Amino acid sequence: MKMMQNVLILPIIAILSLTVNADSGAARSRCWTSGNGRPAQWWSEGAEITRGKFFYECRRGQLEPLGCLSNVEQKVRIGSTFQQDGYEFTCQLGSDGYIEFGYSACVGQDGRTYQKGETWTDAKNTYYYRCRDDGRVVKTTIEGCIAHDKQRRVPLGETDDFNGYTYKCQQKTSGVVQMCSVGCIHNGQKYNIGQQYKDGDYVFYCKLQGGKCTKQCIGCVDASGQSIYDGQRYKRDETTYQCEIRPGKRSHRAVGCNIVENGRDINKVIGCRWYEQNPDWKIEKTCETDGPNKTKVTTVGCIYKYKGFDRIFLEPGKYTIWNLPKQKDASVGLACRKTSDGAELLIFDVAELERNTAGLSYDLPRGKK
């Protein structure tokens, strides 16, 4: 009987031993961790678990990294690449054995990838980028602008000349990069905003208007080569000119005659009349136009003064005989003879009429109209 009991106990112990060993093996193959939005728990062998931006598989009680998650929760296996936020990433194992995102290239707006050092332009071909190495990452930077000819590249901060103006590639506070007007060019000479220059008979100003440089006429160049401005006058060849600058129009307009009076230059406007005189006579002159844009001084005539009053008027080239008032049989000869600078009045005895009137024509004595 005792022997029978021993035979029964041995199989029971064997069965218990196998059960304990099986439970111990199953426990060693499970993983204890949080994941998939759940708190820490046991995960079975082969279960896929997401933690943060990475996902794993439970293998023999350990979390084996499988890959990365993109911003749109796309699963990317280790060794594969994906595009996100303007860059190409590689899902990889770091040197420490942990899974990580690795920057591998830059991505343009068209979805094309660019390696370190490569450049490309924006969709409108107005500026260009470069994919730069920045330590453990790559970085897309705006390097410069595309010139107006859409061919050449202008680095940030540098200038380019096009169609009579100077442009500088600048990045504004808003981040916008573009070619900005910074100066004017005339006959190969560069002028900054605010500078003036001469072009023929006129003065121009390099002005910034509406964000662009323009060449605006602001004045004239006088006969001596000096700059004058709207409304100012100067003398050239005895004609007085006025600088006139109007929107869409500019001119050196003849406005008068320049004469010397008492040793001083005097301007006489067109239509003005004046006298050159002595005690016995005076010469009347006026300023008239002479052609499309010149003036000249014209002698109107000679005036004979008698006892302080203007009595007889003669046009140049005329003569007359005037009977003196209240003097019986008394007369005087008068002749207005042309000279190089106008005319002069000759007062002579009628006995010398022929000698003093050669080449002149007779006119009846009359006063000034």
Q: Is the model's pLDDT at 4 over the cut of 90?
A: no
CB 123 within 8 A of CB 109: yes
Q: What number of CA atoms fall less than 13 Å from residue 53's CA on the CB side?
A: 9
Quote the pLDDT of residue 10.
37
Q: Is the model's pLDDT at 9 over the cut of 90?
A: no
Mean pLDDT of the 319-340 span: 91
Q: How confident is the model at residue 96 (pLDDT cuts 50, 70, 90)?
A: confident
Please name the residue ranges forming H helices in the chain: 2-29, 353-356
Over the stretch 197-235, which tens digit does the pLDDT of each residue have?
A: 999 999 999 999 988 999 999 999 999 999 999 999 999
Q: How confident is the model at residue 254 (pLDDT cuts 50, 70, 90)?
A: very high
For residues 368 and 142, what is the distance between their CA atoms, to the nearest angstrom? 85
CB 205 within 8 A of CB 157: no
Q: Is the model's pLDDT at 106 over the cut of 70?
A: yes
For residues 296 and 264, what is the distance between their CA atoms, to the nearest angstrom? 18
User: What share of the chain in percent tops pLDDT 70?
Assistant: 93
Q: Take residue 219 and report the two structure tokens written for it.
A: 């004045």
Quote the pLDDT of residue 253.
95
Q: How confident is the model at residue 26 (pLDDT cuts 50, 70, 90)?
A: low
Backbone angles phi, psi at 137, to 5 degrees: -125, 170
For residues 106 and 87, what is the distance between their CA atoms, to the nearest angstrom? 4
For residues 333 and 351, what is the distance between their CA atoms, to the nearest angstrom? 9
Q: How confident is the model at residue 27 (pLDDT cuts 50, 70, 90)?
A: low
Quote the pLDDT of residue 157.
94
The DSSP bridge pattern shows strands 361-362 and 318-323 to be parallel
Quote the pLDDT of residue 94.
87
Amino acid identity for residue 135 in this structure: G
User: What share of the chain in percent tops pLDDT 90?
Assistant: 69
